[in-house]
Amino acid sequence: MRVLLTGGAGFIGHHVAEHFLRHTDAEVVFLDRLDTSGNLNRISQSDNWNQHRRRCKFVHHDLRAPVNDVVRRQIGRFDTVLHLAASTHIDRSIVEPVPFVYDNVVGTAHILELSRETEDLDQFIQFSTDEVFGSAPHGTLHKETDRFAPGNPYSATKAGAELLALAYRNTYNLPVKVVHVMNVFGERQHPEKFVPLVMSKVLKGETVSVHCAPDGKSVGSRFYIHARNVAAAVQFVMEKGTVGESYNVVGEREVDNMTMAHLVAGYMGMTLKYAMKDFHSTRPGHDLRYALDGSKMHDLGWRLPVTFGASLEKTVRWTMAHPEWLG
């Protein structure tokens, strides 16, 4: 297997690469433009990198542009595409939505075009998000077939990318499978994300904002999942999933953001200072709760390899020992 991994120097991407290098004999071609979130230090600091580096190749390319002949030759042969390259931060998408259209929709079109022209392509895994379904009221778990209702530019562009990938499956018989991933955490995450953001503020003695409903009671919640579990789920979908289908990759349990912040501070051995903020007035385009139904994966035999508690504790302790990743 020779894997073309877009966004391979990104947070989730490098964990996926690490998993495939450790658990398969695959060769991995990293395709990345190295800007906001791409960082080659993630790759070089991964476990057993020196042992596996001979099976890796890095190609620099910005998917906002078509993949030209020179880049194609640099990539070489591949039979599997894991398409993770994307802009992901909601706040940035609200300030500047158009770049997200280029990155997430146009960029996906260009990698789909490259894949369409590739002989003997075995699989194309499209990474999507729980946010394409929009807000999930308490008691709601979105299934893979539920209607899309994106509430911000980021989630709208991810919905567009997913639908485009499935259209290529229908029109060109491209072997597309989709995974919907929830809030991911882990080592070497960008400091704008919740777990490293909480850690940074706690270390500085600053106040962490915890967003809530206007009544001040309902706190935002997510099914947090470690990137190692996401990587294992991708391999599972490749082996057990059906072409043309979508699969929800769900965390072990739902955790509200107040609890999550306290857990992080607890593993740090420090005190959390926090303030409740009404998300409606301070975070337009954000939703308090996202939730997916994981029964489809469960029925196929999927089980999380690593528990939520063990994952979070390891992430916090590792990051405490490597504070340069907190920005």
Domain span including residue 233: 2-184+223-249
Q: 67-104, pLDDT tens digit by residue?
A: 999 999 999 999 999 999 999 888 899 999 999 999 99
Q: Which two tokens stand for residue 148?
A: 């899309």
pTM score of the predicted model? 0.94
Spot the catalytic one: 32, 154, 162, 247.
Answer: 154
Tokens 């770049």 sit at which residue?
Answer: 99
Is 120 designated active site?
Answer: no
Residue 19 and residue 103 in one domain: yes
Are the C-beta atoms of residues 155 and 286 closer than 8 Å to each other? no
**What is the number of domains present in the chain?**
2
CA–centroid distance for 139 within its chain: 24
Q: Look at residue 325 in the predicted model and tell me its pLDDT.
A: 94
Residue 148 and residue 273 in one domain: no
Q: Look at residue 285 in the predicted model and tell me its pLDDT.
A: 65
Q: Look at residue 204 in the predicted model and tell me its pLDDT.
A: 96
Spot the catalytic one: 18, 32, 131, 144.
Answer: 131
Is 290 designated active site?
Answer: no
Spot the catalytic one: 27, 130, 187, 287.
Answer: 130
Q: Is residue 75 one of the residues assigned to a domain?
A: yes
Q: Look at residue 287 in the predicted model and tell me its pLDDT.
A: 80
Residue 144 and residue 240 in one domain: yes
Residue 202 and residue 53 in one domain: no
Residue 144 and residue 212 in one domain: no
Amino acid of residue 277: K
Residue 55 and residue 93 in one domain: yes
Residue 130 and residue 208 in one domain: no
Give the CA dihedral 138, 144, 147, 151, nearest 10 degrees. 60
Q: Is residue 45 one of the residues assigned to a domain?
A: yes
Residue 138 and residue 201 in one domain: no
Are the C-beta atoms of residues 7 and 88 closer than 8 Å to each other? no
Residue 85 and residue 169 in one domain: yes
Low-confidence stretches of the chain (pLDDT beneath 70): 279-286
Cα–Cα distance measured from residue 61 to residue 141, given in angstroms and rounded to the nearest whole number: 37
In percent, the amount of the chain with pLDDT more than 70 equals 97
Q: Is residue 74 one of the residues assigned to a domain?
A: yes
Q: Is residue 300 one of the residues assigned to a domain?
A: no
CATH of the domain at 115: 3.40.50.720
Is 130 designated active site?
Answer: yes
Residue 22 and residue 156 in one domain: yes
Residue 160 and residue 73 in one domain: yes
Q: Is residue 299 one of the residues assigned to a domain?
A: no
CB atoms within 10 A of CB 264: 26
Quote the Cα angle for 305-298-81, to 5°.
70
CATH of the domain at 318: 3.90.25.10
CB atoms within 10 A of CB 318: 13
**Rg of the chain over all Cα atoms, to the nearest angstrom:** 19
Q: Look at residue 282 in the predicted model and tell me its pLDDT.
A: 60
Q: 166-214, pLDDT tens digit by residue?
A: 999 999 999 999 999 999 999 999 998 999 999 999 999 999 998 887 7
DSSP string, 13-55: HHHHHHHHHHHS--EEEEEE--SSS--HHHHHTSTTHHHHGGG
Q: Could you tell me where the DSSP H helices lie in the chain? A: 11-23, 40-44, 49-52, 69-75, 90-95, 97-100, 107-116, 153-172, 194-204, 227-240, 257-268, 279-282, 295-300, 308-321
Q: Is residue 295 one of the residues assigned to a domain?
A: no
Residue 130 and residue 206 in one domain: no
Distinct helix (H) and strand (E) counts, the chain: 14, 13
Cα–Cα distance measured from residue 131 to residue 156, given in angstroms and rounded to the nearest whole number: 9
Q: Is residue 244 one of the residues assigned to a domain?
A: yes
